[in-house]
Chain A
Amino acid sequence: MSLDFLLEIGTEEIPHWMIPGALEQLRKLDLLGATPEVEATPRRLVVRATGVPDRTPDTEQVVKGPPISAGDKAAEGFARKQGADASALRKSGNYYELVKKVSGRAARDILAESLPAAILGIQWPKTMFWTTRDGPRFIRPIRWLVALLGEQVIPFEIAGVKSGNVTRGHRQLGASAIPVTIASYESELRKNGVILAAHERRHKIEKEAADLGAKLDGDLVETLTYITEFPTAIKGDFDPAYLALPAEVLTTVMRHHQKYFSVEDGAGLAPHFVAVMNTSGDPDGLVKHGNERVLRARFNDARFFWDVDQSKKLADRVDDLAHVTFQAKLGSYKEKTDRVVALVKELGGNAHAQRAALLSKCDLTTEMVKEFTDLQGVVGGLYAKVQGEPEPVWRAIYEHYQPLSMEDSIPATPEGQIVALADKLDTLRSCFSIGLVPSGSKDPFALRRAAQGVVKILVEAKLDYKLGWLAQDGLYEFLIERIQHYFREIRGFKYDEVNAVMASGCGTLADVEARLTALAAVRPTENFEPLAASFKRIRNILKQAEFQPSQPLDPALLETGPERDLHSAFEKVRAATDGSPYLDALGSVASLRPRVDLFFDKILVNAPDARIRTNRLTLLHQLLTEFSTIADFSEIVTSGDQKS
């Protein structure tokens, strides 16, 4: 017989961003073969399943007994020890054996034992204790537990809370003790103000917010989905006079500080917002009124900061940066600014880029950025604009923190690209110079993000700085790793293609990209992988022979036939590919395949005559070196590798 299963871990409000990760883990809950379905609200993590066997099957265990030759006494003794009658023994070869029946266990008993550890075993970014220091740890206190298998409660206890069949409703909209069955569970919750399914809450938020004119925003929808049990959107208004403030500032206040959606009309931001409540309605308009009041105070602050900040121009704040620490050992932002300006110059940045670099960090001293730190750079750009800096300058300041993630776009202007590159590169160089290197999950200065930004800008802006010139030693290696990551994870190239191209050196990233693109294009052609396999063979032969080229190839020593043919074909391809686009070059190299195959087929590299042997190795070495400038083909994983 198989049974349905329900587990509800009732908690105090779990931080929204941790819920999906916890559900991923609960999806792997061991339910004796049944597949867990998971769901959650901020106050409950829920696992449901059908088809849980009511018990594990009975099994048989064979116990080996004494040799038959040991006699009846020994057999009886063995049987007694096993709690069986001697008549139950059977003969197997020269020995007695006993077949014992092992009864299966009730699933309810197994789960009663395993669930507490499984629940407390969920990994959270940060946990707490709430009973005593030695008590259980969880993300927030566990306040109730529903655990049912069929109609029966699976009995266990965590932190003094006993499992049962009683759930709780929404804090305002529902009852505080609701007996449920597996069948009635979700509908009882609904009657008590809880929409259990996240997709349903998400849909309700999206629909209602969109109907009220909200500009939807995926991240915010997701956040609101997991901080509400019964989301309802309402629209509020603000004084249009606040629209005089930059849209960036208004949006940040609404989105990040108040978790509101902004509302746009044809002309841009409209003087409205959409808030999502965790309740079913706002009959007296009190919630709307309260939220409007809060927003007004926030906007007033922002306007105050804006006005105060205009009393001192960005250009007059450069020296103030001496009082803002960049990093204890690396000094102030003034020092960082000086380095970035010099680096921009070194990178060939024009006067606008240099000016932008000089002003880029000045907004750190403004009240606006102290209050709204997410807006660093953006605020500087906006201030520079109203203070009359030329467009390339203010735009570069505005966008110099970009890209903030791998999905974010790079700065749009050349000045912005150079300042952003110099800023990040300086952070990386400085931190590496004092040994602040990310390790494992520790990366307090977000150096991976900075490095990723450097890579993204170099590739996507097609900047032709050589990597070896921008970075050395540890930082060079670190950037190489990030480059591989970028091309693999973001651009979707295969890892062996990335390895092959990178093994041939890393000059400018635009060049790496061009070689990768060519390699990926030529890879599916018929000659390519076999040729790659041959290159691997060549590399192994050279390695085994510990071959170091010491003299030029002597064409006179080449044997007529496959060897001479390969050589002349090689010379032709070499001449043809010199300076041609990578894709054509790779195509020509791939066309060598039949010659290479024939060579290996017919020619003994390890010739008895040392002169001939050396000459052949020289030929192979030249072949490998010559055609490894685009990619090291021996890095390509071919079907032969996978088999071995």
Chain B
Amino acid sequence: MDTYQDTVFKLKRYWADRGAIIQEPYDVEVGAGTMCPETFLRVLGPKPYRVAYVQPSRRPADGRYGENPNRLYKHQQLQVILKPTPDDVIEQYLGSLKAIGIDLSKHDIKFEEDNWESPTLGAWGIGWQVMLDGLEITQFTYFQQCGGIDLDLAPAELTYGLERLCAFLQNVESVFDIEWAPGFKYRDVRLTDEVQFSVYNFETANVERLWRLLAEHEAECKDLLKQYEKYPEKGRFPVLAAYDQVLKCSHLFNLLDARGAISVTERVGVIKRVRDLAVGVAKLWADQQSESEGAAA
């Protein structure tokens, strides 16, 4: 039986063999692999790109102090972006399942409609949840729009929920019982993380300060966005730094939400604040990309 890390190795190898760059996780907190610049920004524009990476994704409100067998504050997603989408994308995807030891002739696979939308990112796509013997193991999306911008190509995004997938492969009831490496269970590696961050997210995070931080990161992002127009050398302008500020805002929003600090009426407003920033960044990035192409041509 493969350990958790064996499965990750195999998936990375599989996609590397199909031309994907194997990236490392992004180093700012994100709620999903989609939010990493490797997805959010790279899907924009006409340049082909293939990338795969594992992204630890933080969802403060989903934490359960490590007491629920299936719910986690931070879970690991294996994110694959294929731009443009190859014609045999589904066959390639099914091949990845074979590569991690799933004999498809002995299982039931269904593609059930599940379109994806992120109001905070101004992004949406069309796709399915892939069901393996009744278990959702992958979210499969054809991106159509990101940061409010219609995409030139429609990249395919495959998001594997690694804990679910490995609990299935290893036939364990609780994700904490997954064998991560020989002799080490998921519990050994991550339980403390789950407990401490659940305490922080639900009990001890300083709400007032989080609001202040949100405002500060928002201001930093806005300041940056404002400077782009007059900046002489567009290619050097730190759009990526502005995007980090968006991610900070998004994570702070999630923290405040977990803390129960955002009323329903405020909620819509804060989501819009973050979306405006994300849309602003996407616009500049697209502009920067077309500038650099113009220069190269």
Which A residues contact B (CB, under 8 angstroms)?
Answer: 12-13, 15-16, 42, 126, 128-133, 140-141, 143, 160, 171-172, 176, 227-228, 258, 260, 275, 277-279, 282-284, 286-287, 289-291, 293-297, 300-301, 304, 323-325, 328, 332
Contact = CB atoms under 8 A, between A and B. Distances in A.
A291 B133 contact: yes
A172 B133 contact: no
A287 B150 contact: no
Given A286-B107, A287-B107, A323-B264, A128 B128 contact: no
A284 B112 contact: no
Interface string B71-114: 00000000000001101001100100000000011111111110
B37 interface: no
Given A126-B126, A130-B142, A132-B152, A279 B108 contact: yes
11 contacts: A126-B115, A126-B126, A131-B153, A132-B154, A172-B104, A275-B108, A275-B134, A282-B106, A295-B134, A304-B68, A325-B264
Contact of B133 (A42, A143, A287, A304): A287
B69 interface: yes
B135 interface: yes
B211 interface: no
B57 interface: no
A-B pairs, 9 with minimum CB distance? A290-B133, A15-B113, A13-B111, A277-B108, A291-B134, A325-B264, A128-B126, A294-B134, A287-B108
A317 B210 CA distance: 28
A143 B89 CA distance: 11
Contacts of A282: 106, 108
Nearest to B267: A325
A605 to B, nearest CB: 67
Contact of B132 (A13, A227, A290): A290
B142 A278 contact: no
B153 A132 contact: yes
Contacts of B264: 323-325, 332
A626 to B, nearest CB: 57
A4 to B, nearest CB: 29
Interface in B130-185: 132-135, 142, 144, 150-154, 168, 171, 173
B265 A296 contact: no
B87 A143 contact: yes
A296 B167 CA distance: 14
Given A140-B126, A171-B90, A300-B69, 6 more contacts: A13-B128, A128-B154, A132-B84, A171-B104, A227-B110, A290-B133
| Interface size grouping (class) on chain B | 35 or more
Contact of A129 (B135, B154, B265): B154
Contacts of A129: 144, 154
Contacts of A227: 110, 112
A622 B192 CA distance: 89
A544 B132 CA distance: 75
Interface string B108-125: 111111010000000000
A293 B135 contact: yes
B124 to A, nearest CB: 10
B204 interface: no
B106 A131 contact: no
Contacts of A300: 69
Contact of B107 (A128, A290, A304, A323): A290
A227 B111 CA distance: 8
A277 B91 CA distance: 19
A424 to B, nearest CB: 23
Contact of B152 (A133, A293, A301): A133
Contacts of B132: 290
A130 B110 CA distance: 21
Given A12-B111, A129-B144, A295-B134, A286 B106 contact: yes
Query: B84, B106, B109, B173: which has the most chain A beta carbons within 10 Å?
Result: B106
Contacts of A126: 115, 126
Given A13-B111, A126-B115, A128-B126, A290 B134 contact: yes
B215 interface: no
Given A294-B134, A296-B173, A131 B109 contact: no
B28 interface: no
B70 interface: yes
A172 B144 contact: no
B133 A171 contact: no
Nearest to A304: B68
Contact of A328 (B110, B152, B268): B268
